[in-house]
Structure 1
Amino acid sequence: MGEVGVVLAMLLAVVASAYLVRVLPAVLPIPLPLPLVQIGLGAAIAGFGWHPVRLEPHIFFLLFLPPLLFLDGWRIPKVGLFRDKGVILELALGLVLFTVVGAGFLIQWLVPALPLPVCFALAAILAPTDPVAVSSIAARVPIPPRLMHILEGESLLNDASGLVCFRFAVAAAMTGVFSLGSATLTFLWLAFAGVATGILLTLGMASLQRLLGARFGDEPGASILLNLLLPFGAYLAAEHLGASGILAAVAAGITMSYVELGGRALATTRVRRNVVWDTVQFALNGVMFVLLGEQLPDIVRAALQSPDLAVPRDPWWLIRTALAISAGLILLRFAWVWVSLRLSNYAARRQGREGVRMDKRLLLAMSLAGVRGAITLAGILTLPLALPGGAPFPGRDLAIFLASAVIVVSLTVASIGLPRVLRGLELPPETAIDAEEDRARQAALLAALGAIDAAGRPAPVDEKDADLHASAAEQVRGLYQHRLGGVMPGSDPARVRVAEQAERHYRLAALAAERKVLLAMARRREISDETARKLLREIDLVEARYR
């Protein structure tokens, strides 16, 4: 099968995975996360003997990671990111270095034939967690919101530290030389230059788009396409400067969320853009894990047959080693989180601030949620094929297998362990979030009522239609007053939620009846398909609010 056929097969596998992940819980004792299902389908594609995709790591980085990291940076709650910045930085920087040292020596102990710099390189690329994999797990596991914000922030920021450690470990394996001062300066440049590139490019694009829109009008299609190109531009610009393209993409996404607060984008542009980005995210996430599954048979075969190291070529030895490394990573993460949170809380109490209060079950959940994914896979595949003298790079195939196995194990452990750890855990309700939402709703509704009163009748208007305008204004005012009654101070929260659920039930029933009649009229050709599409889109937009 040609390359185009394999790509189409992988896209079909992504579509199939969306349905399989809903069917499998009925026949399996535990729910499987979507990434594991996609990895399995990728392995099935490879099992048919089709021509495997040649996975170039640099192309993989460029095509998959920038848009996904950009979108995660865009959508991550910024309040939680900045509120817990101390904890997030401890995980994104301190935990990575702790993992590189601890896991590096662990791998050396498990595989003595593997040179120590290669062990550190493998540990460094295993250190970063993956936001895509974390989000995939969180979609089916009720992770507390604050814990999820910390995990997302950590996974967005720990890529640079892990990749810098990986780069220097590989350089040490190639040359036998390592400089701590040079590594520190390189890290600072990668981080700060990458973040600055993403911020400046996003602000420049937003300014240009604003000028073009003011002069020539806004075109939703062009605006959405430019938004899709932004993460690739930030990544390539940062890489051209020798900075971190990954951090540039993340910074561009975070900056874009603040640019959006300007409210200059048209409503239709926002609706269409969200749909496009949701589709892109689903497709790229799926293809990424299907690709991993498609590569697995060759990775296992190379690990069993490669003669570059004097290690056992027993499949069970490979499995035991991968499980031991995975367990070591969980223990290292648990130890770091245990110590760092206590130190952070101690410092917070001395300053009169509230710390992050987490019991042992939440600490265990945080340790199990350190899921590895695309960054680990793409990074380990960049290991050189040979040393400067021409000899094969020691342990390359074994390192690739161990990294791939840890990805699968971390996904499996998180999907099995997290629901059990968090089951029945009583957490304080997010009352602050509910109160914040109620305040925002009340302010928006009061502004809407004031705008109705100030709008007056459109000019010119026929006096004989004055009663129609008055009736329309009163109808709209009544709708807003009904919604305002649910969020006024002193309203019973329980009754407000009941009223919202009741309104949702009746609205959806009415909208379904409208849609049924319009579709029937279109089938009988009583209305044109163009009219049907227009009216159905209006119904769909209203229904989206209640869904």
Structure 2
Amino acid sequence: MIPADNILLLLVLAALSSLLTRLLKSRIPLPLIQIVLGICAALVGVRIGLRPDLFMLVFLPPLLFADAFRMPLREFHELRGTIFFLAFGLVLFSTIFCGYAIHWLIPTLALPCCFALAAALSPTDTVAVSSLLAGRHVPERMIHVLSGEALFNDASGLVCFRFAMAAALTGEFSYRQAFDAFLLVAFGGMAIGSVIAYISARLNRFLLRRGYDDPPLQITLMILLPFVTYIVAEAAHCSGILASVAACMVIKMMGMIEETNTATRLQATTVWGMVNYIFNALIFLLLGLQLPDLLHSGIDMAHERQVSLLQLVALVCAVYLIMTGLRFIGIWFSILRRWGVARWTKKPFAWPGFLASLLLTFAGARGAVTLAAVLSLPVAGSALGAFPSRDLLITIAAGVIVVSLIGAGIFMPLCIRFLPASGMDRHAVEETMARQSLLRSAIEKLRDRETHSADLPESTVQDQELKQDVIDRLERSYENRLSQIDESHQASLMDRQRALRRERLELAIRLLVLRAQRQTLHRLFVERAINDQTEWELQKELDFEEQLLRSRVLRLPKDI
């Protein structure tokens, strides 16, 4: 257990990292600032050990669940070939070829140990990549590819790591058995996650129909879901990571979040945003806290093996260059695969630029998942016995993590700066079109006879002239927003009673209009005119507007 004062210290450092990022105007990526803060804390005597099993359980399920929720389903379906090739094919490719390359660099290191190190280094860090790309103009296709890859390559890399570790400890390995076990672990995890998510969605629907729609209950159940799927899948010796990702995908497809009330959705967005930020910050702070001890043990290990520090640094850089080169080759294999499919299906194909492939290459930064994997290697005195050359593997992995983060922090902004302008993204075009459709539906609703005869408060129905005035004013407002013309509206002075009457009429009609806009938004999503990401963002705007209107309703006097 981490002492309470250390937890408070980590939270303070997380807040300080955000402040420093603002002061430095985002010139230094947030993950690097947090790692430096963690190193500084370790140098002044703060010691917080990293338990790999606890790290995997606490941090990965909610973060991957949140990342999967932000992944648009339509784009995931369109890019599934590229995503799965990078997440599974590239991981296997890197594990095998980098394993042999490391064995060539260090002939005294057993081949299974080399494969274990290569497998641990194969997953990219989605948290670091997201932080490095935040606020930068990057083609949305690249964002979707990187996000989708990071959702699955943690699982594939860790599965390969387990097989390599078992081979190093037992001396036995079969490619056929490993491949069969890999399929069982992967598809078993996805099946378990899907089943649990389906049951959860049906149970939640039952609770909603019985009136249990309070935000604390709904948000608590949603936060517990990724942990439950992870624990159940791991207990069944399947991939808990893939179970969490699959659970989120099923939840999105079943519309579990959309069925809750407005207050629940708004509070859930805030809660998940805070969980995502705090957990991301803790990951890099913990990584920084481990680095001084790892560096010290690496230097001691180098002295024991009669290796100079310069040779150790050269070895780390060589491994990083090998992994980067293999990723560059794998990305172009993926591009050639898409070109071949496009020619076979006679569809148009646009070759990506060299800078775009470089950006995807340097986006393969390694992070805390890699460190947690190598730290899980058995130590002397454990039931499995000491893993061969454990200290060397941990030192190399830690060095590659730091070098990859520095390389990504330097070269990714350079690639982005010189990327050719791609024009307006598809998401921006869809969002503009959806906003126009929502405004048109609002105007149509105002012109509808049902709005004029709607059940409004009894005291205001008697005043038809006032009601028509409110409808006309709202209609003009939406027409002005649709045509993007700002016109000032000078309201005449009215007595207090008439002003309150007008406000109540306006709020009632605007709530009716919001309902019509929600129906239009859902129709656009069903017709696949927009994706779920666009729907979710616009749905949040409507939620905020509705929450504001309802708060104004509650503040109105009751004696009108």
TM-score, with length taken from structure 2: 0.82
Question: Counterpart of 2:533?
Answer: none
Question: Counterpart of 1:348?
Answer: 342
Give the Cα separation in 2 of the matches to 1:389 and 1:64. 26
Give the Cα separation in 2 of the matches to 1:389 and 1:256. 40
Question: Counterpart of 1:48?
Answer: 44
Residue 312 of structure 2, aligned match among 318, 337, 340: 318
Matched ranges for 1:156-305 at <5 A:
156-260=151-255, 263-305=258-300
Q: CA deviation at 1:152?
A: 1.1
Residue 122 of structure 1, aligned match among 117, 139, 151: 117
Q: CA deviation at 1:262?
A: 7.3
Q: Determine whether 1:7 maps to 2:7.
A: yes
Name the SS of the counterpart of 2:458 in structure 1: coil
Q: 1:23 to 1:392 in 2, by over 3 A?
A: same
Question: Counterpart of 1:445?
Answer: 439
Q: CA deviation at 1:224?
A: 0.9
Matched ranges for 1:27-66 at <5 A:
31-50=27-46, 52-66=47-61
Larger deviation, residues 77-86 vs 435-444: 435-444
One-letter amino acid of the counterpart of residue 158, structure 2: L
Question: Counterpart of 2:525?
Answer: none
Question: Counterpart of 1:472?
Answer: 470
Residue 90 of structure 1, aligned match among 85, 89, 112: 85
8 Å CA contact retained: 2:125, 2:150: yes
Q: CA deviation at 1:385?
A: 1.2
Question: Counterpart of 2:352?
Answer: 358
8 Å CA contact retained: 2:229, 2:244: yes
Q: 1:212 to 1:174 in 2, by over 3 A?
A: same
Percent sequence identity over aligned pairs: 39
Question: Counterpart of 2:19?
Answer: 19
Give the Cα separation in 2 of the matches to 1:212 and 1:198. 21
Give the Cα separation in 2 of the matches to 1:361 and 1:321. 27
Q: CA deviation at 1:400?
A: 1.2
Q: CA deviation at 1:119?
A: 0.8
Name the SS of the counterpart of 2:210 in structure 1: helix
Residue 418 of structure 1, aligned match among 384, 389, 412: 412
Q: 1:303 to 1:445 in 2, by over 3 A?
A: same
Name the SS of the counterpart of 1:216 in structure 2: coil
8 Å CA contact retained: 1:299, 1:401: yes
Q: 1:79 to 1:357 in 2, by over 3 A?
A: farther
Q: 1:259 to 1:374 in 2, by over 3 A?
A: farther
Q: Determine whether 1:398 maps to 2:392.
A: yes
Larger deviation, residues 296-305 vs 119-128: 296-305
Q: Determine whether 1:331 maps to 2:325.
A: yes
8 Å CA contact retained: 2:139, 2:425: no
Q: 1:215 to 1:391 in 2, by over 3 A?
A: closer
Question: Counterpart of 1:73?
Answer: 68
One-letter amino acid of the counterpart of residue 430, structure 1: M
8 Å CA contact retained: 2:234, 2:240: yes
Q: CA deviation at 1:102?
A: 1.8
Name the SS of the counterpart of 1:113 in structure 2: coil
Query: What is the number of equivalent residue pairs in this alignment?
Result: 493
Deviations 1:57-115 (A, max 9, x none): 11000110100000000011222222111111211122111111221122222223322
Name the SS of the counterpart of 1:425 in structure 2: coil
Give the Cα separation in 2 of the matches to 1:316 and 1:278. 42
Q: 1:181 to 1:388 in 2, by over 3 A?
A: farther
Q: Which runs of 5+ in 1 are unaligned?
A: 487-498, 508-534, 543-547
Q: CA deviation at 1:16?
A: 0.3
Give the Cα separation in 2 of the matches to 1:250 and 1:101. 26
Give the Cα separation in 2 of the matches to 1:71 and 1:2. 25
TM-score, with length taken from structure 1: 0.84
One-letter amino acid of the counterpart of residue 189, structure 1: L
8 Å CA contact retained: 2:208, 2:260: no
Give the Cα separation in 1 of the matches to 2:118 and 2:389. 14
8 Å CA contact retained: 2:192, 2:229: yes
Question: Counterpart of 1:147?
Answer: 142
Larger deviation, residues 429-438 vs 361-370: 429-438
Larger deviation, residues 424-433 vs 208-217: 424-433
One-letter amino acid of the counterpart of residue 476, structure 1: L
Q: 1:390 to 1:200 in 2, by over 3 A?
A: closer
Give the Cα separation in 1 of the matches to 2:310 and 2:92. 30
Name the SS of the counterpart of 1:392 in structure 2: coil
Name the SS of the counterpart of 2:463 in structure 1: helix
Q: CA deviation at 1:212?
A: 1.1
Give the Cα separation in 1 of the matches to 2:291 and 2:95. 25
8 Å CA contact retained: 1:122, 1:380: yes
Q: Which runs of 5+ in 2 are unaligned?
A: 490-544, 553-560
Give the Cα separation in 2 of the matches to 1:401 and 1:541. 56
Q: CA deviation at 1:389?
A: 9.2
One-letter amino acid of the counterpart of residue 358, structure 1: P
8 Å CA contact retained: 1:21, 1:33: yes
8 Å CA contact retained: 1:75, 1:257: no
One-letter amino acid of the counterpart of residue 330, structure 1: T
One-letter amino acid of the counterpart of residue 56, structure 1: R
Question: Counterpart of 2:133?
Answer: 138
Question: Counterpart of 1:458?
Answer: 455
8 Å CA contact retained: 1:62, 1:235: yes
Q: Determine whether 1:383 maps to 2:377.
A: yes
Q: CA deviation at 1:315?
A: 2.7
Name the SS of the counterpart of 1:427 in structure 2: coil
Q: CA deviation at 1:261?
A: 7.3
Give the Cα separation in 1 of the matches to 2:281 and 2:370. 16
Q: CA deviation at 1:364?
A: 1.2
One-letter amino acid of the counterpart of residue 46, structure 1: A
Give the Cα separation in 2 of the matches to 1:318 and 1:233. 42
Deviations 1:469-526 (A, max 9, x none): 222222322222223335xxxxxxxxxxxx6xx79xx99xxxxxxxxxxxxxxxxxxx
Give the Cα separation in 2 of the matches to 1:102 and 1:32. 33
Deviations 1:439-469 (A, max 9, x none): 3223323333343422333256245433332
Question: Counterpart of 2:106?
Answer: 111
8 Å CA contact retained: 1:457, 1:469: no
Give the Cα separation in 2 of the matches to 1:447 and 1:227. 33
